[in-house]
Amino acid sequence: MDIKKQILDALQNPDFPDLKFLYSPEVLAVSEEILWELLVEEQEDFQKKLKIPDEDISFETFEDFSILDYFFWLLEHYQWVNNDEVIRKIIENFEPKYIDFSNEVAYSKRYYEMLKYCFQNGSLDAEQKRIMEKSVEVYEIRGIALAEAEQAKLKKINKDLSELGQNFWNNVLDSQKEFEYMISNEDIISEMPDDDKLVAKKKAEEKKREWYLFDASQSAYAAIMKYCSDKSIRAYFYTARNLFATEEWRNNKTVILKILELKNEKAKLLGFPNYAELSLHFKMAETPDQIIDLFGEISEKARPKAQAELNEIREYFNLQELVVSDLSYYARKLREEKYALDDKELKKYFEFEKVLEWMFEIVKRLYGIEIKKIQPHPNPLLKEREQTSEPLSPWGERIQEWGFVWEGSIFDDIQVYEVSRNGKFLSYFFTDFFYRPFKRQWAWANILRENFRGNKKIVLNVCNFQKWADGTTLLTLWDVETMFHEFGHATHEMLSRSEHSELSGFHVEWDFVELPSQLLENWCRDPEGMKIFASHYQTWEPVPEDILQKLEQLDTFGSGQFVIKQNEYAMMDMSLHTGIIPSSESELDTHVQKNYLKNSLFPLSEVYNPHTSFSHIFDGGYAAGYYSYMWAEIIEKEVWRAFKDSGDIFSPEVSKKFHDTILSQGTTKKASELFRDFFNRDVEIDAFLSEKGLI
């Protein structure tokens, strides 16, 4: 059979796709060609669509399942889980034209008018109306409705902002690249874990040097700040970090001033009083003031605990003074010495298979989800090979053919499940949980294919847990939390009741999307839950009482400092995007320093420039959005508190209410409305405060 036809058939298969086949050398050899063909088809279809007369426009005009998007996304997924030259080249060649096409769609005035026409005149049900309303809004926020001259201005601003963001990031990188610090005295890093030392040693070896080299990476910085016993070295690293990208020839302060000015101009062009208001337009939080007030209240409440945490450190270690660059070191030491919890012991209660079973059991109890392991489809190519008596393992061939160094298939650890509720199929769940070289070393949840007219949805979780040679995997508590977190995201998508993928769980507001994920983590940490499910991987004994007690004590360890720091950053971000834009470097510095003095518990250091390497907000899409980290926790603790207050963390009433009003609703309503449907009120902070031990 023609290979191209076989690929298109595989992509159109509404059931679980033959992922092995779609990753075979035969397929990759023609993938780029297929992408180009699909792109031409979609471009032609789009042009045809633009010619549809108004009276013929209906909701269906805009409904499509793009095989191109699906295939491209699949290739990107393979690239994420197994970085390899072949796919990288395909993506690199194809992506620029693909982006050009999506820009053509995104800035098509006719298309926008068609959407608007449909929104205003079409006979739409409630969900269709919401989808159209959102689509029109997205176009308007891009500035599609503006006059030509203003639109040109906006496009120029967007282009400049993207360049400035790039400059910002390059300045940080260049500045950090030059930084290195050699340590030859073993004594001062004797408390450091072997892993960190090994990395530092390798870095030194790469430069043909002896001893240990610590660079400006986050991991090296954290290793020094937490484990280096020499106070002056910690202070040196702290100062160095505050000097990145402040040098005259790569000064991010000038970049920040331009970014702030352009963002402000952009907001005004689009009819918003400032950039923060624009940023909040598609978020749950409604106004900058709402966030400023809420965070102000929380940090006031957190101050006594934060201060007590500092006092505890001072007293325990008998310190005259505690400077900001010493905090991580002593906090870590206190945790280890005063609340000694042996992570190696704890791991024995978290054997991977048991944790997975526990996690599935929890969502079954909470939301009635049934999860069944399935065997994905057989590989048609494998069958052909069997018949022609070619080697049975195409992966052996592939390893030679494509220059793979790693022996084994990326499919070895993959599991596929069928997820259903009340006998109704919800989604496939696809897992890839274990570490491999060439796989992105993160954890994530995503959707591999959306449901559309019979196409079954595929939701995935990817992690990087370490499997040992004998096949057992003992997880740290952090791993278990990660697993629950990503599965929480997955359930949000799986349980979305709408047939329209635009309204599913993954599309909710940015500051609401972490609610189901962070919420599910509570069940793995809760002592009550742990007592039921966690047991020793060899003896089946439950977790001992003393470990549970320590875990409970540590639950709020350092939470005062955490809140103070989060508030300081969030307020720096928010204030720079709301008030009067600083017009000079000194004004900018004063602004940032004032924010620190207002919000921090430490005196101002001689060198203080957190803004010059704050890429989250100047190059990362978090401008006037840094608050979302703590915001998500505030709402998540509210829901968790509702479960706890019912006296049963598996309360059928609360879980049903959460399922019905929030989880299954996906994006069918605004997040603030969903929240109100559950609580009959706006966000409050009491649950967060008490869960964090702040009241």
Q: Can you give the binding site for Zn ion, defined by CB under 5 A? A: 517
Nearer to Zn ion, 274 or 517 (CB): 517
- Nearer CB in complex with Zn ion: 398/485: 485
3-state secondary structure 606-617: CCCCHHHHCHHH
**Closest distance of CB 486 from Zn ion, Å:** 7
Cβ proximity to Zn ion: between 17 and 625 the closer is: 625
Shortest distance in whole angstroms from residue 671 CB to Zn ion: 15
Considering the complex, state which of residue 560 and residue 666 has its C-beta at the smaller distance from Zn ion.
Answer: 666
Measured between alpha carbons, how far is 493 from 459 in angstroms, rounded to an integer? 7
**Closest CB 514 distance from Zn ion, rounded Å:** 5
- Shorter beta-carbon distance to Zn ion: residue 302 or 671: 671
CA–CA separation, 92 vs 290, rounded Å? 43
- Which residue's Cβ has the minimum distance to Zn ion? 517
Q: How far is the CB of 505 from Zn ion (least distance, A)?
A: 12
Compute the distance between CA of residue 643 and CA of residue 528 in angstroms, rounded to an integer.
13
Which residue lies nearer to Zn ion by CB, 328 or 517? 517
Kind and range of the H or E element at 449?
A: strand 444-449
- Please give the DSSP secondary-structure letter assigned to residue 304: H
Phi and psi dihedrals of 432, rounded to 5?
A: -140, 85
Tell me the closest approach of the beta carbon of residue 517 to Zn ion, in angstroms.
4
Residue number with CB closer to Zn ion (165 or 516): 516
Question: Which of 420, 299, 423, 424 shows the shortest CA–CA distance to 370?
Answer: 420
Least separation in angstroms between residue 521's CB and Zn ion is 10
Cβ proximity to Zn ion: between 134 and 489 the closer is 489
- Residue 356 CB: number of other CB atoms within 10 A? 18
Rounded CA gap, 675 and 283, in Å? 13
| Residue 376: DSSP 8-state | P
Main-chain dihedrals φ then ψ at residue 460, nearest 5 degrees: -130, 155
Q: DSSP letter at 53?
A: -
CB of 483: closest distance to Zn ion in angstroms?
12
b/e 215-231 (16+ beta carbons within 10 angstroms → b): bbeeebbebbbbbbeee
Residue 518 C-beta: closest distance to Zn ion, Å: 7
Based on CB atoms, which residue is closest to Zn ion, 127 or 493?
493
Residue type, 598: K
Q: CA 338, CA 640: separation in Å to the nearest integer?
A: 29
Alpha-carbon dihedral angle through residues 97, 98, 103, 109, given to the nearest 10 degrees: 100
At residue 584's C-alpha, the angle toward residues 578 and 590, to 5°, is 70
Alpha helices in 229-287 (DSSP H): 231-243, 252-269, 275-280
Least CB distance to Zn ion at residue 515 (A): 10
CB nearer Zn ion, residue 212 or residue 622: 622
Q: Tell the smallest beta-carbon distance from residue 418 to Zn ion (Å).
A: 24
Kindly tell me the burial class for residue 142, based on how many C-beta atoms sit within 10 Å of its own C-beta (0-12, 13-18, 19 or more): middle
Of 291, 300, 303, 298, which Cα lies nearest the Cα of 575? 291
